[in-house]
Each structure stands twice: as structure tokens, then as C-alpha cells.
Structure 1
Amino acid sequence: MGIFERFMSLWVALAILAGAALGWLFPGAFASIAHIEFAHVNLVIAVFIWLMIYPMMVQIDFSSLRQVTDQPKGLVLTLIVNWLIKPFTMLGMGWLFFRVIFAPWVDPATATEYIAGMVLLGVAPCTAMVFVWSQLTRGNANYTLVQVSLNDVIMIIAFAPLAAFLLGVTDIEVPWETLLLSVVLYVVLPLLAGVLTRHWLNRRGQSGQLDAFLAAIKPWSILGLLATVTLLFALQAQTLLEQPLAIGMIAIPLTLQTYGIFIIAFMGAWWLRLPHAIAAPACLIGTSNFFELAVAVAISLFGLHSGAALATVVGVLVEVPVMLSLVAIANRTQPWMDRRAATRPATS
């Protein structure tokens, strides 16, 4: 384990502090970076995320993809958590905190917008960052790809009607440019690059060259994560300074929701006797969010400076540190999961 992975929490904490400080000191520079976007996808962040995902894609062996069907329980668990549990618990968590607990401090109209932002996060399971969480937990790369791809297909069909139902509005216009561009940037292009890289290394016929290449580029994946965290907090530094109380109130239910969904998914994986390499990505994909899509829809429905947009932004800021803590939990429980999975054949 390299120095980056050994002290990951420390590096992320330093990246958060550095990002907030840089954003406060140089607001104009980061305002310019914020405008380097297309279809609500910031292209600078996209480069950093791409850098994180690429090593994961090189690990994918297409000849082994067919084996994914030997473990259908992991896919079923992911779909149940993402589409039948998470959106509704997110709505419930938002209602509990902003209609009951925080009601004396938040006016009803703003509370409605905060809840809407949380719901939009809840109906948008992660597309990009889950590859990073899977890599950090040494998850099955082939299985993770299938999980993400299946969720993306369902999201294209289910996002709009489910969001409309939970928000109580008559029509949700899906920002197709944001959705499709994100899938292409974060799944299709890095997957093609990984396949071509793997094919090129295998054609050279030197044993161990693939492993050596993966070991060489792995630190760049971690650097991409730290750069992403730094930039995210730099871009939102002014918001952090201007609305600390609102951000704190939104962060509490989002954090509890994330841990709660992880616990539900983990209990499901334990009951299903899934091995760690499948259980870890299955648990983490439901707890992570497709924040570009959620932010884009929140802005289109409620406006750039709305409470809904703020809630989706807080979701971005909360996600990385919370997800890293869940990665640590998943890694610590690996022996338990694998021992339980070995007690009987992990077939359907």
C-alpha cells in the first residue's frame, strides 16, 4: 500500500482545506474555471475524474464479463437499493429534518426546495465516482462496469417519472445533454481507452507488463481524486463562507442518509453472502450520487440560487469525505464478508 492510500483521509482533509482556502483567496480564478463547462458538466472536473477512472477501466477483462451473470444477486441488490429504497428514504430524511427538526429555523418555502434538492440526489445513482470507490475497495472491475451500465440504462427510463412523483410536479424535463455527456465522458471514453491500452499491452506479449503499468498509473488515480476534491471545494468556497448554517443543516440529513443506505445495502450483501469484491461496489454505488445530473435538474426547475440547487451542491461536498469513510469500513469488513461468502457456493 502506497503512501497515498495509507494516509488517504489526511490527504483528502488537506485537499478540502486547500480548496476552500484557494477559492476564498482567488475567487475570480475559480469563477472562470466554473464557466468551463458544457451541459452543466465542468470539463476541468471531468478531466480529473477521467484520470481517476482510467486505471479501473484498464483492469476490465472483456473475456470475463460473461461471468458476471454467475453472481446475479449483486446486481439485484444494487437495483433494489438504488430504485426501491434510496429515493424514498431520501424524501423521508428531508421531510424529517426540514419539516420537523429544523422547522423553527427554515421557512416552509425554503424547506421545500431543500427537500427537492435532496430528492434529486436520491433518484440519481452514481455513474463516475463509483469506479473510484470500487478501485479503492479492490472491487471486481468487470462487475462494477455492469452495475454502472445497468443503472445508467434504468436512469434514462426511470429518473424523470420517479423524480416527478416524489416532487409532486407534473413534468420533469431530463437534461439529456448532461446525462448523455456524463455517460460518454465517464464510462464510454475511459472504457474504450482502457480496452485499447489492455489490448496493446497484451499484444506485446511480455508477462507482467499489464500489472506493472497498472502499478505505475495507480498514484495518478489518487492524485486525480485529490485534485477533484480541491477543485470542488474551491469552486464552492464562497457558498461555504456565505451560508455556513444552511450548508450545515443540509449536510446532516445527507450524511445520515448516506450511512443509512450503506448499512441497508451491507446487511443485504451479508444476507445474500456476497463476496467482498462484489459486495463493496454493490453497497457503494447506492450511496454515491450523480451530482451533475441532480445539479442540472435543480437549476432548471428552481433556479441557480435556489435552495434545491444549494442542496445538490452540498451533496457534492459531503460525498467525498463520507464515501472515503465507507470505503474504509468496507475494506475492514472484507475478511468477514469473504468468510461468510465461502460458507456456501455464491451462485444465484
Structure 2
Amino acid sequence: MSSVDERETGTGAVVARLSRLDQFLPIWIGLAMAAGLLLGRLIPGLNSALEAVTIGGISLPIALGLLIMMYPVLAKVRYDRLDTVAGDRRLLFFSLLLNWIVGPALMFALAWIFLADQPEYRTGLIIVGLARCIAMVIIWNDLACGDREAAAVLVALNSVFQVLAFGLLGWFYLTLLPQWLDLPGAELTVSGLDIAGNVLIFLGIPLLAGFLTRRLGERARGRQWYEARFLPKIGPAALYGLLFTIVILFALQGDAITSRPWDVALIAVPLLAYFAIMWAGSYALGRAAGLNYERTTTLAFTAAGNNFELAIAVAIGTFGVTSGQALAGVVGPLIEVPVLVALVYVSLGLRRRLFPAATSPSALR
């Protein structure tokens, strides 16, 4: 496991200390996306095979990829430090504000601004905005040297609110608010139990596994062995899981994406605006509030990311697999993945300029 010297916190210095896999992450992700799209187009019946078994409404291969992706990062979390995050009321307040008030409202506005005459895509984008991130944000935060403990707490907080608020916000933004504004709306059928199951599987299982691994590993061999010997061995699995998930996800939806390129471009524009505004606004808020680099970064990525797995599952379950709403959900990760990878490097580049007194970031891998 490597760490970054306090005097060398620029992007180049950080990237130089990443593994070869990490250094070329944008290339690997691009290749994974391309491979998935090609597989989906070239192999007849692949979609049916991949969707034959589901967990929490999500294809089994994707589910396994997500679990493999999240476990190593959650095994790195120092759970004995979580109380310091839970006591940071500013961070918790800002996260709830950005995720459950600003984010959905911004996506609603952008969907109507850019897709006013495309009701299916508009509805799909609004659903994406309601699904706050509980999975891949763990990876982006870790790559950007954010606060792992803060990420774990904020993701758990998002999960609770996702169970409680997703259906209510869906009714508000798709039915009630359009009625108030005299706009055409839509009905959203979503089960709170299904969302709770989704959260339990994709956050609860890797979180419990990570906690038990650290607890038992430190008890048996000590913290020094656990962090210096064990974590470096399991660390690369997170990115392998990420790349595998991307391949399978785009293989499942390759035909929909490649057969309707103009529609993909229409959906991509408001998504690009959304990710840029949410990330930059959250980063600026954290900086203005006096949060340190690690927590500012965590705030930005947890606010900008979305739970596209849930959004796709809800869109397909409510409107059908061939619907425009489902396509909008699929385009979400097509745009989110490369944009947030780019923002990892932007965040690292801003570290020295905006946080000159920052301490060295957490060990990377």
C-alpha cells in the first residue's frame, strides 16, 4: 500500500503512486464500455442469458460485480473512526440537502428544459435524479483520496433515505408537481420493500463483510498486518469488479444504445449538465464551509453520483424494458462513468491549489 508525501499532492504525484491498473483507469473503462456494447450487439441471446437470474431486480452478473467492487473499499474503512463523521453535523446536513432536495430538483428542471417534448426520456431522467448513489461512489471517492469513513456514513445515510423517500419523491416530481405547474406528468409504481431489499443486498452485504474482515483480521494479526499486507492483496478486486460490472451492464443494453444514437445524445446533454453542476456546486459548498479536502471530495462525489442500478430497475419494472424511460436510465451510467472518472482527476488537480494546508491523503491501495 502506498501513500502520498505531504509535499507532493499534485495530480501527477498522486497518479504516479497509483498501480498500473489505476493509472490507466479511463482507458480500461472506455475499453470495458466498448467491449460491453460489442458483446451486446454481436452475441445473439446474450441479454436473455444475463437476465435469466436476478438479485434485487438486477441481473445476477451485475449484482456479483457490484458486490465484488464494493467489498475491498469497505474493508479499508476504519470503523472505529465513524463517530467523528457522525458528529460532523455540517457534513451530514449538506449531504442530505444536496442529495434529497437539490439533486432531484435540479434533474427535474434539466429534464424539462432539455426534454420538454420527450415525455418518456424526461420521466426516465427524473427517476435517475431520485436514485441517490450507494455503490460506485465508493470507488470514485477512493480514487480521489476522499474520506473513506465519511463516504461509508453518507452512503449509509443515503440508503436509509432511499428506502423512505424514493417513492414519495417519485410521486411528488412525476405527479404532484407537474399538476401544480400544469405540466403533463406520469405515474411511478415502486415498492418500498423492493428498494429496501436493493439497499440490503448492495450495501448491507459488502458493508457487513468489510466490517467483519477488518474486525477479525485486526484481532487475529493486528492493524499493521491488516493494512500493510492484507488490504493491498484484495484492493485490485474493486476495480476488477468495476470493469466487469461495466462490461455486463453495457452488454445488456448495447443494442438499445447503439441503435438509437440520436436519442442517446439528447439524453446525454442534460445528464452532462447535471453531473457538472452537482459536482462543482457541492465541491464549492464544501470548500466555502471550511471542510477539509477529503470531506469536500466525499461530499462532491456522493452528491453527484446516482444509483443507476435502482433507476434502471424501477424504469424497467414500471414502464417496460423497451421503454424510453428504461433507455434514459441506461444512458445514465454511459455518461456518469467517464464524467466522474474525469472528475477524480479534476479533484486531485484542485487539491494543491485549493487546499494548500491539506495533509497527505489516505493510502490508495
Deviation of 1:60 after TM superposition, in Å, equals 2.1
* Among 198, 203, 210, the residue aligned to 2:219: 203
* Among 321, 344, 350, the residue aligned to 1:304: 321
Alpha-carbon distance in structure 2 between the residues aligned to 1:176 and 1:160: 7
Give the 3 Å change call, closer, same or farther, for CA 247–171 of structure 1 in structure 2: closer
1:94-131 Cα distance to aligned partner (Å, 9 max, x none): 111122xxxxxxxx4xx111111111111111111111
1:129 aligns with 2:136: yes
287-296 or 121-130: bigger deviation:
287-296
Give the 3 Å change call, closer, same or farther, for CA 95–42 of structure 1 in structure 2: same
Alpha-carbon distance in structure 2 between the residues aligned to 1:175 and 1:319: 26
Q: Is the 8 A contact 1:274 1:341 kept in 2?
A: no
Q: Is the 8 A contact 1:134 1:280 kept in 2?
A: yes
Q: Which residue of 2 aligns with 1:41?
A: 58
User: Does the residue aligned with 1:128 lie in a helix, a strand or coil?
Assistant: coil
User: Does the residue aligned with 2:280 lie in a helix, a strand or coil?
Assistant: helix
Q: Is the 8 A contact 2:174 2:188 kept in 1?
A: no
Q: Which residue of 2 aligns with 1:144?
A: 151
1:127-168 Cα distance to aligned partner (Å, 9 max, x none): 111111122122222211111111222222222222212112
Amino acid at match of 2:257: L
1:154-194 Cα distance to aligned partner (Å, 9 max, x none): 22222222221211258644333431222122221111111
Q: Is the 8 A contact 2:125 2:325 kept in 1?
A: yes
Deviation of 1:204 after TM superposition, in Å, equals 2.4
Q: Is the 8 A contact 2:190 2:318 kept in 1?
A: no
Deviation of 1:206 after TM superposition, in Å, equals 4.5
1:158 aligns with 2:158: no
Amino acid at match of 1:133: W
Alpha-carbon distance in structure 2 between the residues aligned to 1:71 and 1:39: 32
Structure with the higher fraction of residues in helix conformation = 1
> Which residues of 2 match residues 254-273 of structure 1 at below 5 A?
254-273=271-290
298-307 or 227-236: bigger deviation:
298-307
Alpha-carbon distance in structure 2 between the residues aligned to 1:218 and 1:4: 11
1:114 aligns with 2:121: yes
Amino acid at match of 1:18: A
TM-score of the two chains, using structure 2 as the length reference: 0.85
1:194 aligns with 2:210: yes
Q: Is the 8 A contact 1:51 1:220 kept in 2?
A: yes
Percentage of matched positions with identical amino acids: 32
C-alpha RMSD of matched pairs (Å): 2.0
Alpha-carbon distance in structure 2 between the residues aligned to 1:28 and 1:73: 50
Alpha-carbon distance in structure 1 between the residues aligned to 2:187 and 2:271: 25
Alpha-carbon distance in structure 2 between the residues aligned to 1:311 and 1:31: 20
Deviation of 1:341 after TM superposition, in Å, equals 6.9
1:203-245 Cα distance to aligned partner (Å, 9 max, x none): 2235521122111111111111111111111111111222111
TM-score of the two chains, using structure 1 as the length reference: 0.89
Give the 3 Å change call, closer, same or farther, for CA 339–273 of structure 1 in structure 2: farther
1:316 aligns with 2:333: yes
Deviation of 1:49 after TM superposition, in Å, equals 1.2
User: Does the residue aligned with 2:291 lie in a helix, a strand or coil?
Assistant: coil
Alpha-carbon distance in structure 1 between the residues aligned to 2:195 and 2:21: 32
> Which residues of 2 match residues 1-348 of structure 1 at below 5 A?
1-99=18-116, 108=117, 111-168=118-175, 172-206=188-222, 208-211=224-227, 212-339=229-356
Alpha-carbon distance in structure 1 between the residues aligned to 2:21 and 2:260: 32
